[in-house]
Structure 1
Amino acid sequence: MAGHSKFKNIMHRKGAQDKKRSALFSKLSREITVAAKMGMPDPANNPRLRAAILAARAEGMPKDNIQRAVDKSQGGDTANYEEVRYEGFGPGGVSLIIETLTDNRNRTATNVRTIMAKNGGNLGASGSVSHAFERLGLISYKAAAGSADAVFEAALEAGADDVQSSDDGHEIWTSIENLHEVARALEPVLGEAEGTKLAWKPGTMVTVGADDAAQLMQLIDKLDDDDDVASVWGNYDVPDDVMASL
């Protein structure tokens, strides 16, 4: 969800990218550990763990790192993380759902509230935003997986509910209950998915202009940089020309 910063110095850029990649791996490892601890350490029998491992693979996380995260779940010194969801509004009237994994609610709440306030957003009460979204399963494929027609036919045959294709790739939506059955059925046809996860699908989209888009992307960047934030979902639609200018 986050944008990409540009730096004058290539070494500065590499250092920043390495730091961000390290932070991403840390978040992915945390999700793998939590998923394995809440269910079984075998991804074949733990849909959430399987999704977490697929996400880690898609980001290039080494197999050893993934295995260490799974093994950590079986130790007695694993931190007790809990899932906490925050809802609020960003620039341009955009609705945002912020999902976190935290071992300290007070720290996370303070950080999220501060980031929102400093970047043109504000937190709302629980339920103030989520009622306008639908909780669904999302399977993502790169555009190279196939044509829009081919992916649509494969998804329909697998039991998916909806498919949205663009130049950026394919988003296959399904019910939460059918997510992993559909994902397994698609794999022999389209290959391994880029991502398989639970997602928030907005009922209506909000078109964001240039001024609001810049601040919105900055807000999402800052939220994404926080160690406790697992994902940020929104109902924003940034036109291609505006996104290109950013």
Structure 2
Amino acid sequence: MSNTATQLLSFTVLIPLIMGLARMNRVRASFHPFLLFLLLAFTAEVVSEISIHLTKDNRIPSNIYILLEAGIILYLFYTWGFLKKRKWLFAALAATYLVTWVVENICMGVLANGFSSYFVILYSLTTVFLSISEINALVTSYSDNLFRNSKFLICTGFIVIGVYSLITEGFMLIDPDNSKIGRQIFEIFAFINAFVNIVYAVAVYFMPVRDDYYFSKRFKA
């Protein structure tokens, strides 16, 4: 697959981002971190492309992006309530993320010379577990169609990306010099990422509106 096709697939994140920005003033505040997550993902794609064109390398922006993404997703689960009820767990995970990233990227010198595989494994595994916990809570408390529930769709997307990241990072750690497998993994990820971005777009469409939105809209009228 050509680089242009891969780039176009990666920029499908613009679909849910534009939808999210259009609805930002209406959706509940607990979903705002997810909109920030989409904005960060788009910004990271742009920065990565610029970095590749200028320096032929995107490792530094990619490693920094992973840390920011992990923090935003962790905060998203906090705003949804699961980690807010377990503030000690939220603090412990945030501290573990930061320490792991610093040790791998700064102490081990990975920041400019490689990709944060160990941090990605930690962050992906944590996100998958948090997503499964959120889905389990929804199954027991939500009586409507789950495929019309934003939390369910977002968590499903997190699980798909998280599991794929765990598999790919495992392969890269076992055989880091196999460029053919690395290229195939990247190409497959482009399609998976595009699919998940469409799932995110559906999630944005079904995001619940603020309780006071229709009241304030009628009052202004």
TM-score (norm 2): 0.32
Question: Whose strand proportion is higher, 1 or 2?
Answer: 1
**Larger relative CO (CA 8 A, sep 6+): 1 or 2?**
2
Q: Which TM-score applies when normalising by structure 1? A: 0.29
- Greater fraction helix: 2
